[in-house]
Amino acid sequence: MADQARFTELSMEYMPALYSAALRMTRNPTDAEDLVQETYLKAYRGFGGFAEGTNLKAWLYRILTNTYINSYRATKRRPEIADVEDVEDLYLYRRLSPAAGGDPGRSAEDEALESFGDDEVKAAIESLPDAFRIAVLLADVEGFSYKEIADITDVPIGTVMSRIHRGRRALQKALHGYATTRGLVGSASAPGVS
C-alpha cells in the first residue's frame, strides 16, 4: 500500500505533460485520455520495480510511448510508408538571411515562426510518420536528451539521432510551402520540394 501512495504522490505532477504528449501521438482527445489512463495503470502496477532516484518522468514516457506503439499502431493494418526527400540543410535560414532580404536584427527562426499559425505547425508535425514525430516531439517539445529518447523508445541512440534529423528535415520541407505562401521565401522550390 505504501508503494501505491508513493507512486500517486510522485507521478501526478507529470499527468498534464503526459496527456499533451499522448494527444500529439494519437491526435484525438479521447484516445489521448485512454492512453494516459492505460499508462498510469501500467505504471501503478509496475511501480514496485521502479528504482527510486532514477528518472520517473522518462520512465512514465517510456510506458506511454510503448503503450502507444503496442496498442494504437497495432490497430493499423498497414504501416505508414513515407518517402522523406532530402531538403538542403539550413534552406529556410539561407532564404531568410539578410543577404536574401531578411531583417538583420532578427533570426530566421524568429521570422519564420512568427509568420506560421499554430494550425500550420500542428499540421506539419502531424504529417510526419509516427517514428519521426515521436522522436521530434520528445526532443524538441519535451526536452529529452538523445539517450533518454533512446531509453523511452527502446531504439539505439543512432536511430534516435537519425529520426530526429530526418523528422526535422521533413518539417522544414512541409513548412516551406507555408513560407512561400506567406511571402517569406521566393517562389523558387526548395531542393526536393515541388
- Would you say residue 124 has pLDDT above 60? yes
Mapping DSSP to helix (H, G, I), strand (E, B) and coil, where does residue 52 land? strand
Instruction: Indicate the pTM of the whole model.
Output: 0.56
Between 1-10, 154-163, 175-184, the lowest mean confidence (pLDDT) is in 1-10
Share of the chain above pLDDT 70, in %: 67
Q: Is 146 exposed, middle or buried (0-12, 13-18, 19+ CB in 10 A)?
A: middle
Cα distances (angstroms) measured from residue 18 to each of 15, 58, 83, 141:
5, 11, 29, 12
Which pLDDT does position 132 carry in this prediction? 92
The per-residue pLDDT for range 55-86, each reduced to its tens digit, is: 888 889 999 998 988 876 566 544 454 444 54
